[in-house]
């Protein structure tokens, strides 16, 4: 089969590796891909939201299966465009991808179908939002509506921070915020392969959203992760499926927006049970980089089965996969670009998140740049291994957290 991976980040690099490992994959294309993906497949210079050029390429090349990585492509209607052109695509329609692109849409569905989530209010008016925040008090959570790559969320532990976040959201054109009850608990991610009502869970992972050690500083796209999450027992996973993932997939079918693709549940295990922080319409990044290396089943086969409505039983390595993101100086507020990177011999898997090649030199090209991943029998061993391997990556403009996974260690 000719397979096309759409996107250019670390998630897509991990997707490309898993797809290429399948005997079903005879040729892999990545659009636009990145230098790491270029070592696995053929990079094609088409932007991940250029639907017209993508359809033309997929037709011309006779692509048998397209797998979409980023939310921007989904929101641009990439799945709709490919499907209309008769190309098999694993990724939700623009309408179904609203589970992520519109917090309001997701919240309304959760309310209607009784899927547990934080209490919330949406505001289009700055004064009303400020008044609400003042009445509720802190801690409280302020979320800008729309796609913000994980960066439009302020978990405000005091009132001043909350009001500043409201003002910042309304300083932008078309300001609109979702103000949420603060949830306290243990956070984890569960991603499932979904087609209509069929939901096949992958293994759990934990992301680390804050930029600094000890979960300090602003939210980022994610600074590191590991899988599986020991605290999430098979019983909790089962309950997550029954109370969150399966009802959501069924709700989307009932609402006339059936979902096909990776459905991502961002979850909090609270004293009152499991609650949804958010849904995403795609694989998580940096979750993909630690979940997919543990998959021992054929990934292409799994996707095709789900798309045909056939349940699959997936085999996983019992080992723990652990990964640390190397980000550019200044991230998440901004980022430096164009700094040279040298990667010496390493037995870590290195996923490219934001790099480019120029005259044979690898350069930084975004906020999150690389992710180093190792797999060992225990989280403790994998933690030690990944951090050892970071010595082999040399770049003056990269930094990383030193405590990825520490909280979940014995
Ligand atoms: P989101 O983009 O909605 O996933 O939010 C980013 C991060 O902010 C989450 O991963 C949580 O760590 C945190 N967060 C979001 N909503 C809440 C909430 N209601 N209570 C506590 N923390 C939250
Ligand atoms: N790791 C969080 C996300 O992909 O949104």
- pLDDT of 322 reads 98
Dmax of the chain from CA atoms? Answer: 60
CATH number corresponding to 194-307: 3.30.470.20
- pLDDT of 253 reads 98
Q: Which residue has the tokens 């089969």?
A: 1
Kindly report the number of other CB atoms within 10 A of residue 160's CB atom. 9
- pLDDT of 21 reads 98
- pLDDT of 153 reads 85
Question: How would residue 173 be classed by pLDDT, with cut points 50, 70 and 90?
Answer: confident
CA of 385 to the centre of ligand 1 (A): 29
Q: Nearest ligand, CA of residue 70?
A: 2
Asked whether the predicted pLDDT for residue 150 surpasses 70, the reply is: no
120 ligand 1 Cβ < 6 A: no
Asked whether the predicted pLDDT for residue 149 surpasses 60, the reply is: no
Q: What count of Cα atoms within 13 Å lies in the side-chain half-sphere of residue 382? A: 28
Are the C-beta atoms of 14 and 293 separated by less than 8 Å?
yes
Write out pLDDT tens, residues 365-403: 999 999 999 999 999 999 999 999 999 999 999 999 999
Burial grade of 358 (CB within 10 A; 0-12, 13-18, 19 or more): exposed
Are the C-beta atoms of 157 and 139 separated by less than 8 Å?
yes
| Tokens linked to 268 | 């909090």
CA of 223 to the centre of ligand 2 (A): 10
Over residues 186-206, mean pLDDT: 97
332 ligand 1 Cβ < 6 A: no
- pLDDT of 337 reads 94
Question: Residue 207 CA: which ligand 1 atom is closest?
Answer: 10
- pLDDT of 10 reads 98
- pLDDT of 146 reads 62
| Tokens linked to 67 | 């797998």
From 136, 153, 268, mutation site for ligand 1 pocket: most ligand atoms within 8 A of C-beta:
153
pTM, two decimal places? 0.94
Q: Nearest ligand, CA of residue 267?
A: 1
Write out pLDDT tens, residues 220-241: 999 999 999 999 999 999 999 9
Mean predicted lDDT score pLDDT of the chain: 95
**Burial 302-311, CB ≥16 within 10 A → b, else e:** bbbbbbeeee
Burial grade of 157 (CB within 10 A; 0-12, 13-18, 19 or more): exposed
Domain ranges of the chain: 2-94, 119-181, 194-307, 320-409
For ligand 2, atom 2, name the residue with the nearest CA.
284
Q: What count of Cα atoms within 13 Å lies in the side-chain half-sphere of residue 140? A: 26
Identical topology for domains 119-181 and 320-409: no
Asked whether the predicted pLDDT for residue 144 surpasses 90, the reply is: no
CA–CA separation, 185 and 267 (whole Å) = 9
405 ligand 1 Cβ < 6 A: no
Q: Nearest ligand, CA of residue 153?
A: 1
Q: Which residue has the tokens 């040279």?
A: 340
Domain 119-181 has CATH 3.30.1490.20: yes
Write out pLDDT tens, residues 11-34: 999 999 999 999 999 999 999 999
Helical H runs in 241-298?
Answer: 246-254, 288-291
Strand (E) or helix (H) holding 20: helix 10-20
Residues 6+ apart with CB under 8 A from 89: 65, 66, 67, 68, 78, 79, 82, 83, 260
Asked whether the predicted pLDDT for residue 60 surpasses 80, the reply is: yes
- pLDDT of 151 reads 58
| Tokens linked to 155 | 């978990």
127: left (phi over 0), alpha (psi -120 to 50) or beta: alpha
Asked whether the predicted pLDDT for residue 323 surpasses 60, the reply is: yes
In the chain, count H helices and then E strands: 13, 25
CATH number corresponding to 320-409: 3.90.600.10
CA of 155 to the centre of ligand 1 (A): 7
Closest CA to 290 of 198, 188, 410, 184: 188
Kindly report the number of other CB atoms within 10 A of residue 62's CB atom. 10
Strand (E) or helix (H) holding 16: helix 10-20
Write out pLDDT tens, residues 260-294: 999 999 999 999 999 999 999 999 999 999 999 99
Are the C-beta atoms of 379 and 351 separated by less than 8 Å?
no
CA–CA separation, 269 and 137 (whole Å) = 23
From 221, 278, 327, mutation site for ligand 2 pocket: most ligand atoms within 8 A of C-beta:
221
| Tokens linked to 221 | 């796209």
155 ligand 1 Cβ < 6 A: yes
3-state secondary structure 305-357: HHHCCCCCCCCECCCEEEEEEEEECCCCCCCCCCCECEECCCCCEEEECCEEE
Fold for the domain defined by 2-94: Rossmann fold (3.40.50)
CA of 287 to the centre of ligand 2 (A): 7
CA of 220 to the centre of ligand 1 (A): 11
From 103, 277, 282, 332, mutation site for ligand 1 pocket: most ligand atoms within 8 A of C-beta:
277
Strand (E) or helix (H) holding 61: helix 51-61
CA–CA separation, 5 and 303 (whole Å) = 13
Closest CA to 311 of 193, 167, 169: 193
């Amino acid at each position: 089969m000719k397979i096309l991976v759409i996107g250019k980040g670390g998630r897509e690099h991990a997707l490309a590796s898993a797809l290429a490992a399948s005997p079903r994959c005879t040729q892999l294309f990545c659009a636009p891909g990145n230098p790491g993906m270029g070592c696995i497949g053929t990079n094609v210079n088409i932007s991940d939201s250029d639907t017209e050029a993508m359809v033309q390429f997929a037709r011309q090349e006779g692509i048998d299966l397209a797998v979409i990585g980023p939310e921007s492509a989904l929101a641009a209607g990439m799945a709709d465009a490919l499907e209309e052109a008769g190309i098999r695509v694993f990724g939700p329609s623009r309408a179904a991808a609203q589970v992520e692109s519109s917090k309001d849409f997701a919240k309304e569905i959760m309310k209607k179908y009784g899927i547990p989530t934080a209490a919330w209010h949406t505001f289009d008016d700055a004064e009303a939002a400020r008044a609400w925040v003042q009445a509720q008090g802190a801690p409280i959570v302020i979320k800008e509506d729309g796609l913000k790559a994980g960066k439009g969320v302020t978990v405000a532990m005091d009132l001043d921070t909350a009001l500043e976040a409201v003002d910042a959201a309304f300083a932008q054109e078309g300001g609109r915020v979702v103000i949420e009850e603060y949830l306290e608990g243990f956070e984890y991610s569960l991603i499932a392969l979904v087609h209509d009502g069929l939901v096949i869970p992958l293994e759990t992972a934990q992301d680390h959203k804050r930029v600094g050690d000890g979960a300090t500083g602003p939210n980022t796209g994610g600074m590191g992760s590991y899988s599986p999450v020991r605290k999430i027992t098979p019983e909790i996973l089962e309950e997550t499926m029954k109370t969150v993932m399966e009802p959501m997939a069924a709700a989307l079918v009932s609402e006339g927006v059936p979902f096909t693709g990776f459905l991502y549940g961002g979850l909090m295990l609270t004293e009152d049970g499991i609650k949804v922080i958010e849904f995403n319409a795609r694989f998580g990044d940096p979750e993909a980089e630690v979940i997919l290396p543990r998959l021992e089943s054929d990934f292409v086969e799994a996707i095709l089965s789900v798309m045909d409505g056939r349940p699959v039983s997936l085999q996983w390595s019992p080992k723990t996969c652990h990964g640390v993101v190397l980000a550019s100086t200044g991230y998440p507020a901004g980022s430096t670009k164009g700094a040279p990177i040298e990667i010496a011999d390493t037995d870590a898997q290195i996923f490219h998140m934001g790099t480019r090649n120029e005259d044979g030199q690898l350069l930084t090209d975004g906020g999150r740049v690389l992710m180093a991943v190792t797999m060992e029998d225990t989280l403790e061993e994998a933690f030690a291994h990944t951090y050892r391997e970071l010595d082999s990556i040399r770049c003056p403009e990269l930094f990383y957290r030193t405590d990825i996974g520490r909280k979940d260690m014995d």
